[in-house]
Amino acid sequence: MKKTSVKKNRRSKQGPQQKKPHRKILLVTDLSPGDLLMLSAALRDLKRAHPSFLVDVQTNVPAIWENNPNITALDRSDPDVEVINVEYPLIHESNTRPWHFIHGYRLFLEQALGVGIPMGEFQGDVYLSDIEKSWMSQVQEHGIHQNFWILVSGGKYDYTAKWWNPLEFQKVVDHFRDKIVFVQCGEASHHHPPLRNVMNLVGQTDTRQFMRLMYHAAGVVCPVTFAMHLAAAIETKRKMPLKRACVVMAGGREPANWESYPHHRFLSLNGALDCCDDGGCWRSRAFPLGDGDEKDLSLCVYPEEIDYEIMLPGAKQKSKLKIPKCMRMITAKDVIRAIEVHYEGGVLEYDGGWTRAEETLGAVREMKSSVEVTETLSVKEPAIDV
C-alpha cells in the first residue's frame, strides 16, 4: 500500500501560534421531553465532530441529561458563553422533503454555529448508570418478574389530536391477558383513561424512573409521544432484542417520515384521508378546550365522537370524547397484529401475561397479610403493675 506523507505545520516566524480557546456553547429550550431526546442526538453529533467544544444545556427536564458525558457545566453569565435558543425549523419541510425529526436540531446548529455536524446514530442519546441498570424495576418491586410492555393510553391536553380510542386500548389489553403484562404509565395531570388488567403506574414515575422502567421494558404501545422516542433511545437489556419493540398509533397528524423509526410498527394513515393526503395535517386538537390557547384554532377537520365519557379540565360535567377520524380508523385488530409479529418472528416470547401476574400479586398480598397477622399475634402485652 502506498504510504502518504503528511507535512507538519511550520511555526510562524513571529513565534509559536496561540492555542485557540474552546468554544463555550449553552443550548436553551423549554420544549417537551420528546423534543429534548432529539436535541440529545444533535448534542452527541456536535461533540463527536468538535470534541473541543464545551457544551451545556438549559432545559425544563434536567433528568434527561444525567450522566451525559457530552455536557460540561457552564456559567451563563460568562461573556465567552454563546447562548443559543435552539429550534428545528426543518419541521416546516417535513411534508415535502424526506427528513426525520432527528435532523432538525442538528441542521439548525450547523447554521447557528457555522460548523459541519455529520449525522450519528438514528436515536436519542441518553445514559443510565450501571447502578441504575442494576436496580430492579418498579414492576419487579411488586414481585412480577415477567417481561412487560409499557402502555400510554392518552397524552397531554394541548394535543388531543394524538389521542386514541380507550375502548380499543382495552380490547388490546384483554386480547393479551394470558400472554403479555401491560404497565400503564403517564403523568397524573395528563389524560390517561384507566384500563383494567394492567399494572397502573400513572403518576408514579418521574422522568428518571420512567427512563429506568423503559430499560426493563420488552415493548411499548403509545401514540406519537415521548415514550416512542425513548423506546428507541434507551438500550435494551441483555438477552433482549437489540431494538425495543414499539407500536405507535400515529394516524395522519404527522408525516410518517418525520416521526417513525425503522424497527417500530408505525400505524400511519397519511394518504388515506384528504386532510393528510400530502403529509401530515399537523392539527393540534380534536375538540376545543376553551382554555385560551391558540391550539383551539388548530382543530381536526374530521372529529368523531366515541362512546366514552371524559371530564375535561375546568368542566362541571363529563362529555363524550372526540378523536380524529384517522385515529378512530386504527382498530384494536391493527394494534394486536402489530404486537403479535414480534412473537411470531421469535424475537419475543409470551410468558403468562396478566393472568400469571395476578396470581403472583395475590400470593404476595397473602404473604404480607400473613406476616402482619403473625407480627400482631407475637406482640407481647405489657406487664401490669399490681
| Residue 198: exposure state from Cβ atoms within 10 A (0-12, 13-18, ≥19) | buried
CA distance 188 to 305: 24
DSSP helix/strand/coil, 196: coil
Claim to verify: residue 176 and residue 290 sit in the same structural domain: yes
Residue-level pLDDT at 314: 86
Concatenating the DSSP letter of every residue in 243-286 gives S-EEEEEEETSS-HHHH--TTSEEEE-TTTSGGGTTS-----BS
**pLDDT at residue 366 in the model:** 61
CA distance 190 to 36: 19
SS (H, E, C) 61-85: CHHHHCCCCCCCCCCCCCCCEEEEE
Q: Does 250 fall in a domain?
A: yes
Would you say 138 and 201 are in contact if contact means Cβ atoms under 8 Å apart?
yes
Q: Are residues 148 and 56 in the same domain?
A: no
Q: Is residue 234 part of a domain?
A: yes
Residue 253 sits in the same domain as residue 304: yes
The residues, any chain, with a CB within 8 Å of residue 180's CB and separated by 6 or more, are 147, 148, 149, 339, 350, 353, 354
What integer pLDDT is reported at residue 361 of this predicted model? 84
Instruction: Give the pLDDT of residue 239.
Output: 86
pLDDT computed for residue 382 by the predictor: 46
Do 198 and 65 belong to one domain? Answer: no
Same-domain check for residues 178 and 265: yes
pLDDT at 3: 36
Domain co-membership, 340 together with 281: yes
| Residue 331 falls inside a structural domain | yes
SS3 content of the chain, % helix, strand, coil (to 5): 35, 15, 50
Q: DSSP label at 29?
A: -
Q: In Å, how far are 30, 260, 268 from 223, measured between CA atoms? A: 22, 11, 11
Which of 75, 95, 113 is the C-terminal boundary of a domain? 113
- Which residues are CB-neighbours of 354 under 8 A, at least 6 positions away? 173, 176, 177, 178, 180, 181, 182, 197, 198
Task: Give per-residue burial for 64-94: e unless 16+ CB within 10 Å, then b.
Answer: bbeebebbeebeeeeeebeebebebebeeeb
72 inside domain: yes
Q: In terms of domains, do 30 and 161 share one?
A: no
pLDDT for 10: 40
Last residue of a domain, one of 59, 78, 113: 113
Cα separation of 230 and 217, whole Å?
A: 11
Domain total in the chain? 2
Instruction: Say what the pLDDT of residue 202 is.
Output: 97
Query: What pLDDT score was predicted for residue 7?
Result: 37
Cα gap 371→203, rounded to integer Å: 29
In this structure, the answer to whether residues 29 and 69 fall within a common structural domain is yes
Within a domain: 18: no
C-alpha cell recorded at residue 167? 375502548
Same domain, yes or no: 46 and 164: no
Beta bridge partners of 149: 182, 219
pTM of the model: 0.88
Residue 228: inside a domain: yes
Question: How far is CA 239 from each of CA 236, 242, 244, rounded to the nearest angstrom?
Answer: 9, 9, 12
Q: Which backbone phi and psi does 37 adopt, to 5 degrees?
A: -65, -35
Query: pLDDT digit of tens for each residue in the chain (386 aa)?
Result: 433 333 333 444 444 444 556 899 999 999 999 999 999 999 999 999 999 999 999 999 999 999 999 999 999 999 999 999 999 999 999 999 999 999 999 999 999 999 999 999 999 999 999 999 999 999 999 999 999 999 999 999 999 999 999 999 999 999 999 999 999 999 999 999 999 999 999 999 999 999 999 999 999 999 999 999 999 999 999 889 999 999 999 999 999 999 999 999 999 999 999 999 999 999 999 999 999 999 999 999 999 999 999 999 888 899 999 999 999 999 999 999 999 999 999 999 999 999 999 998 876 666 555 445 445 444 444 444 43
CB 61 within 8 A of CB 207: yes
- Rounded distance between C-alpha atoms, residue 316 and residue 361, angstroms: 37
* Residue 363 belongs to a domain: no
If asked whether residues 108 and 145 sit together in one domain, one would say no
Whether 83 is in a domain gets the answer yes
Question: What strands, in cross-sheet order, belong to the sheet with 219-223?
Answer: 199-200, 181-184, 148-151, 219-223, 245-251, 265-268
Mark whether 297 and 247 lie in a shared domain.
Answer: yes
Structural domain that includes position 89: 24-113
Q: C-alpha 20: how far from its chain's center? A: 39
CATH number at residue 239: 3.40.50.2000
